[in-house]
Chains A and B, each alone.
Chain A
């Protein structure tokens, strides 16, 4: 990803709007009693578009902002989400995205991984009570919602960050070649 001040401003706006939208809307609605978690899918999309560094840094930033707004101990969410962004970026650097299913599937898998990560951080900080089996259902439903939200988020961000994306083959193909002397 080619980082210019304009692209940096767009990335900051994406992070801020994403976190505010999650806290003010997605966390407060329930579909089958479970709230969708937009943030891992957002970070996966950024990691797939920008690579490991973009994924990790935006994941870290989203986590810090989330913890600040929730007035929670800083670092827990950023640790998990930077891992999510790094893994998505690593996928982008190692493999080609051949099918449209890759993005939603990655969003679902990494959302599941993020929830397991949040659970691990909570366990490290101390869970001194029983865990309901409903957690499994909730995590699976959150992954399903991430699957459904994954493609629109990826497509929207791709459009927003198009000038900065290095290997945007689709854009190059659709561009008409300039005929010299015509």
Chain B
């Protein structure tokens, strides 16, 4: 027993922060095909269970949406004006509203084959690795709730046939982000245990940010240090922007466009230049 405890501590000390080592690469090479087959074989069963969960959820959401519809009708006129302004600004900065992949990047499509079972971590494994051209710190996008793609995370470790994706909801994730329109910049960090609520902190703007604004990667570049994400990748939408919180600590709450709990297919952006 003592030997196992000591062994665990030694392994943790030796392997922490080193990405993947020889043992993991070996085990991963053996199990990746098996995991991939199991993942495909169990998909119908997974879909069935998730269908029940989503149906139950949709029933509860129906009445809430009716209430929201009334409020939305009132805000409609203001929203139209904001949309027109938004489109104009997006055109000015050359953003692709469809959330397309930035130029200069190649994409590798991969399927999620595993997910950390603990509530404290938000990382997934995918069935593509270094043999497909994937490298550590490559950005990863997934299907957004409306249309196009949105940022889901970054590659944290890679083996030949698989890779680990640290989702933007993982406690270790930090993303340089900006609000459009407005351009206020900050760092997007998660709230552990709630992948539907991210916090945009350290906003460098004195302008108040309203609900419904889009949040994209800032892709900043500084002397000797670059952001690991390309600029203007869609991340999410500001859902809660209490004036008190903004004035006191300059933070707003962001709901990611991609459903981080059930991300199934992802695209890894390889190559390209960061920042």
Contacts and interface: CB of A to CB of B under 8 A. Distances in A.
B125 A28 contact: no
Contacts of A69: 27-28, 31, 35, 114, 125
Interface string B58-97: 0000000000000000000000000000000000000000
B103 interface: no
Contacts of B13: 75
B267 interface: no
Nearest to A29: B49
Interface string B115-126: 111111101010
B184 interface: no
B1 interface: yes
Contacts of A86: 1
A119 B17 CA distance: 18
A101 interface: no
B192 A131 contact: yes
Interface string B34-69: 110011001001100110110011000000000000
A31 interface: yes
Contacts of B121: 72, 118, 122
Interface stretch (A92-100, A132-140, A150-158, A162-170): A132-140
Contact of A35 (B7, B115, B156, B199): B115
**B contacts with A: majority SS:** mixed
Interface residues on B, range: 35 or more
- Which label, helix, strand, loop or mixed, suits the secondary structure of the A interface? helix
A39 B159 CA distance: 24
A72 B27 contact: no
Contact of B27 (A25, A65, A131): A65
B38 A72 contact: no
Given A29-B50, A82-B4, A127-B192, A73 B17 contact: yes
B84 to A, nearest CB: 36
B11 A30 contact: no
Given A23-B115, A24-B39, A74-B12, A57 B4 contact: yes
A130 interface: yes
Given A23-B114, A75-B7, A128-B171, 13 more contacts: A22-B117, A24-B35, A25-B38, A33-B53, A71-B163, A73-B17, A73-B18, A74-B11, A75-B9, A75-B15, A118-B118, A119-B120, A142-B119
5 contacts: A24-B114, A69-B27, A82-B4, A115-B119, A130-B191
The list of the 8 closest CB pairs from A to B, nearest first, reads A75-B12, A75-B11, A135-B193, A23-B114, A132-B194, A79-B8, A27-B115, A68-B27
